[in-house]
Structure 1
């Protein structure tokens, strides 16, 4: 079966790309488990990967192997250049709440091909940072109906009740960054578009390859948000689309009728931060100008880290000058009795006042959903 897939992909023409085309991630190799091969969706992922020139490796069992290197750095490189096609177990299909973003977290994949020095997945996911994509997408989508009306974020919010029950698809991955390989995002958007219920799919991305999504029958049941940042911070986002390209993509999907959003994260009070973030908001305002029926939200998320994530990130990016000095932060204990470091109350207040005023000035039609 696998040999036939690779042979068919090898006979397909190379995908064309010009200078204006989004840069697409090409994994060096793709690991596939026996269980994933049983799903048509999983086999379709392999065909796309083989057409891009990725090495296809069929595993003997449903356990991922072959990621360890001679040292931690080599293990990181092996994992970040690998795509794993697996089956999401029942435990992964039991949805968890994800405040303040949405009622429920729905995972189409786990892991991300980007190289962000502040990566929120560091310390959250176990093992090497391989990107796992789920072959059993039909099972995942079929399970969602049980959660309608049962959330505690938008389902019970006076201000956000019009969004219906919300499902966040970018908690543990960037689904657009791997969509050219998976096709999972398009299928999920189509599923929500045909769903006759008060529901909304949400995802945020640092990529710009939105063309496959523009002609889908989304029925405004999907909000596409773009994670953006001021230039002094965006330099920590390796392997992603430039911020200007993300904002152009935001305009494209808004013109296609999607509700859209800006996820400004992680906000950092770097030198000249007021001017830098003002410039970002002005650029965003230019891209949304003149869009009919614009539905725009803004989410404001400040930088934070845990002792565990700092340890992982300094191992992944030893030369980074990302500021993670505990001495300049406030120490907080979460409801799970873990520790995280955030900005001090005075800095948080100063930044929040600035952003609330700046968003109101430059993007008066936008709704700020939350500050955290």
Structure 2
């Protein structure tokens, strides 16, 4: 047995999320994909599975913000994606289009990208009308400006990002949505020149490596320095487990990627991120026909996300001091707080050089 074949027979996830409560709206209960979700939830041992009398999610708030957060993070809601969520949206610089299998995430990252962008308690909502969601791949194939028809990334085809509002692998054991999407796109149902992509902090890839993906899905793992991951990324697979999963999917022929994010200039950051890159190189050593990309994203926050995060994690040690940051304004007038120009320049220069030196197979897509 070769080392790569061994990778595919010894995959044991270290982190599986199992909700305590599953709420199914009346409309969602009538759709076929809901039966698969219920089957998976029952197999995972979920006892509280309820079909609601209507389509509104109510009674989600506790007596305090912390109670609301804790209850919501233990709840999976099976809902119907509204028409507004079915139209693919441009998502540069990651991909041509965004499609959403779900909204919400079971992890407890103290810098959560979703804070401030999702309304209400942070319940994970999975969409039962999967056919409608995936129809966006059909209608938008061959369109887009990030990869479709471009010189730099045209070989990726039309790309569809699935992890803007969720970690699809983190909820896969109780939804099956990701496997269904990968299999259908992999079969060529939506055309030959399309590609799904998602980022994850989980390692439950045992089912994924058995799928006929057709090379039309890029699995990216969110990776970070040990200090950042261990301190701020609660409820996720630890870094060594993610790298083991990265090797497994690469060995199974998937296109793979690194989402190095959010990078932070912590004390000794060069040494810590250098060790991370060395670990990545070791994890992928010997993989044949490796197709590896990298996306590097610095930490940033908005006033709204800071307020939400401090409500969720009042004792966080995450640095969110506006006086230590520079303001970055969007074309719509929104404000993000990013690192000062000199810090950004130093980190960018180091990462570009060290990525090329330590992980030469990686193709850097963007830095932001």
Show the counterpart of 1:4. none
Show the counterpart of 1:243. 239
**Structure 1 residue 51: deviation in Å?**
2.7
d(CA) in 2 for partners of 1:21 and 1:197?
31
Could you say if the C-alpha distance between residues 155 and 19 of structure 1 is closer, same or farther in structure 2, counting changes exceeding 3 Å? closer
Alignment of structure 1 residues 308-347 onto 2, 5 Å:
308-347=304-343
The yes-or-no answer on 1:172 pairing with 2:165 is: yes
Which stretches in structure 1 are left out of the alignment for 5+ residues?
Answer: 1-17
Comparing 185-194 with 41-50, greater Cα deviation is found at: 41-50
Structure 1 counterpart SS, 2:210: coil
Alignment of structure 1 residues 61-76 onto 2, 5 Å:
61-76=54-69
2:216 to 214, 221, 234: 221
Write out per-residue CA displacement over residues 41-63 of structure 1, whole angstroms, 9 at most, x where no aligned residue.
Answer: 11221222123232112211101
Two-structure CA RMSD over aligned residues (Å): 1.2
TM-score, normalisation: structure 2: 0.95
Alignment of structure 1 residues 1-372 onto 2, 5 Å:
20-54=12-46, 55-195=48-188, 196-234=191-229, 235-372=231-368
The answer as to whether partners of 2:22 and 2:50 remain within 8 angstroms in 1 is yes
**Structure 1 residue 32: deviation in Å?**
0.5
Which stretches in structure 2 are left out of the alignment for 5+ residues?
Answer: 1-9
Write out per-residue CA displacement over residues 87-144 of structure 1, whole angstroms, 9 at most, x where no aligned residue.
Answer: 1111110111111000000100000000000000000011110000011111211232
Show the counterpart of 1:15. none
Write out per-residue CA displacement over residues 331-369 of structure 1, whole angstroms, 9 at most, x where no aligned residue.
Answer: 111122111100111100000000001101111111000
Write out per-residue CA displacement over residues 265-294 of structure 1, whole angstroms, 9 at most, x where no aligned residue.
Answer: 000000010000000000000011110000
d(CA) in 2 for partners of 1:208 and 1:276?
22
Write out per-residue CA displacement over residues 66-98 of structure 1, whole angstroms, 9 at most, x where no aligned residue.
Answer: 211011111111111100000111111011111
The answer as to whether partners of 2:99 and 2:136 remain within 8 angstroms in 1 is no
d(CA) in 1 for partners of 2:95 and 2:141?
12
Structure 2 counterpart SS, 1:143: helix
d(CA) in 2 for partners of 1:322 and 1:57?
37
Q: How many residues align?
A: 355
TM-score, normalisation: structure 1: 0.94
